[in-house]
């Protein structure tokens, strides 16, 4: 039975002693997640292909809450050798991790299906997308999520052992999918939306199959958040800006703005800390899926 003081924010969401790894942690949603966890006491390792970006992110966003943001890598998550090296390197530093956030991703090619004549529609899509671009989108957004998760299962399970059976489901994986994987509107991104739909289903598969290891798997399906993927740029602190008017131009965002970085942080900490949530896809989309059919 919980006493009232146990419902304080500090008790519910403190991440002191928590160890996390975030792929694609140098910018965008990965950096937001890392900041949120570190600000609440976690030691957060961030990895990605660009070591300079990782180091700059860690230097620019040193937390005051007792946690740390630590660059590690570089790592190309589409390569098993890189993933195994990352596991080996992290194992030299930590006996376990409590959270793996599979966040690395790419946007893929874009081809707007605006033509009503079939010949013109074929030309529009056929000429603006390639098989190679589709393959790369799935390789980064789906295949790498699976192999990253599999690579870190032992380190995740190790987090349970020092604390005994009562700590089951304390470790978890969070995948970054997208509202785009839950909607029927292609948005001109057939490969990206299809890949994110696959990430959603992969999350459910891993959640079910990884239960035997006592590791939870959930997914965050973001809407429009400021990131390199949505704005194609970052500033000198690895941050991006997405003005409200740019979001309003889309005409299907009830919130009439991009998501706040803090709102993404809230969602990450909730999924990381709530051991009774497993196999869920949490859309953080400003109400878009209430407007566009899913």
Active site residues: 177, 192, 196
The Cα 234–Cα 227 span in angstroms is 7
DSSP tag of 274: -
Beta strand segments in 201-278, E: 215-222
Of 128, 102, 132, 103, whose CA–CA distance to 114 is shortest? 128
Look at residue 259 and give its three-state secondary structure. coil
Nearest to 100 by CA among 144, 53, 41, 165: 144
Hey, which residues does 47 pair with through a beta bridge? 23
Sheet holding 215-222, edge to edge: 68-71, 43-47, 19-23, 99-102, 171-176, 215-222, 281-284
Q: Residue 195, Cα to own-chain centre: how many angstroms?
A: 14
**Which among 236, 247, 218 is positioned nearest to 27, based on CA atoms?**
236
Q: Is the dihedral of CA 215, 207, 262, 235 positive or negative?
A: positive
Strand partners, 283: 221
Report CA-CA distances (Å) from 74 to 50, 77, 88, 148, 213. 6, 10, 13, 14, 28
* Residue 36: C-alpha distances to residues 69, 71, 231 (Å): 10, 16, 22
């Amino acid at each position: 039975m919980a006493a009232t003081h146990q419902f304080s924010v500090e008790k519910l969401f403190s991440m002191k002693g928590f160890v996390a790894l975030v792929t694609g942690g140098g910018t965008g949603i990965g950096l937001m997640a890392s900041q949120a966890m570190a600000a609440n006491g976690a030691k957060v390792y961030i990895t990605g292909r660009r070591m300079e970006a990782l180091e700059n992110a860690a230097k620019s966003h040193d937390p005051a809450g007792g946690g740390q943001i630590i660059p590690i890598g570089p790592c190309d998550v589409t390569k098993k050798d890189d993933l195994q090296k990352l596991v080996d390197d992290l194992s030299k530093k930590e006996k376990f991790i409590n959270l793996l956030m599979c966040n690395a991703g790419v946007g893929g090619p874009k081809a707007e299906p605006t033509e009503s004549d079939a010949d013109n529609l074929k030309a529009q899509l056929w000429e603006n997308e390639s098989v190679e671009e589709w393959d790369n989108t799935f390789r980064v957004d789906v295949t790498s999520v699976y192999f990253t998760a599999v690579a870190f299962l032992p380190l995740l399970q190790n987090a349970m052992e020092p604390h005994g059976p009562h700590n089951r489901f304390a470790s978890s994986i969070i995948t970054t999918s997208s509202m785009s994987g839950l909607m029927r509107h292609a948005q001109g991104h057939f490969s990206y939306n299809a890949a994110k739909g696959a990430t959603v289903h992969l999350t459910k598969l891993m959640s079910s199959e990884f239960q035997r290891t006592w590791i939870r798997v959930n997914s965050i399906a973001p809407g429009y958040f400021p990131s390199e993927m949505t704005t194609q740029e970052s500033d000198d602190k690895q941050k991006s800006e997405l003005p409200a008017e740019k979001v309003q131009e889309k005409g299907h965002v009830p919130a009439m703005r991009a998501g706040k970085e803090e709102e993404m942080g809230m969602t990450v900490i909730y999924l990381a800390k709530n051991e009774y949530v497993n196999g869920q896809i949490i859309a953080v989309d400003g109400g878009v899926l209430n407007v566009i059919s899913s």
